[in-house]
Amino acid sequence: LRLKDISGEDLLKQVDALCNLSEIYRQIADYDKAEKTMVELEELMPDDPHMKVFWLNCRAEIARRRGKLQDCRRQLCEALSLAKTFNSPADLVAQIYNNLGICHWSLGKLKESAGYYKSALALYRQLKDLGGQSKIINNLGIINDEMGRLCKAAKSYEKAQKIFERIGATRSRAYA
């Protein structure tokens, strides 16, 4: 299907379905199918900068899960640059910052990781997104733990746990 073949509400439904399908494929680790849905999204909306930001972010996650960390980092940096240029929604930008934090953590660059997590946390606070905040605070706890800052790590874990409990989430559901 091409953009010219679909219009209005049908296009939005197709895009939404592909986004959801890609998420499912990523969750079950079927990265080939997830990548194919990204190609379909790109073909449906090749000129939409926000969609490009979205699929770059998704492709970066696939690259990270496949162990291609430099490719992940490159795609996330491109996504962040486009997101800033085209004023993408704050929740998408926060996701990119979170993914950059995860990528840098995986690369062993803990200070850079913490910086990206802090940027994500600031956006999640602006959005009043408690789920996003708890996830990031927990991730900061992990980084502080790995850096030997055990008191800071403990405070982060406690703060994240309070938010998790407040919103009814479990720690396992809140991870990246």
Structure confidence by residue, pLDDT tens digits, 114-167: 999 999 999 999 999 999 999 999 999 999 999 999 999 999 999 999 998 888
Residues 6+ apart with CB under 8 A from 94: 119, 120, 123, 124, 127, 129, 132
pLDDT value of residue 4? 46
Average pLDDT estimate for 98-105: 96
| Average pLDDT, rounded, for the chain | 89
Model confidence at 6, pLDDT cuts 50, 70, 90, reads low
Contact 31, 67 (CB under 8 A): no
Distances in whole angstroms, Cα of residue 21 to Cα of each of 39, 43, 62, 103 = 13, 16, 14, 23
Contact 31, 73 (CB under 8 A): no
Average pLDDT estimate for 67-91: 96
Q: Look up residue 69 and give its amino acid.
A: L
pLDDT value of residue 168? 84
pTM of the model: 0.84
Tokens 């602006």 belong to 126
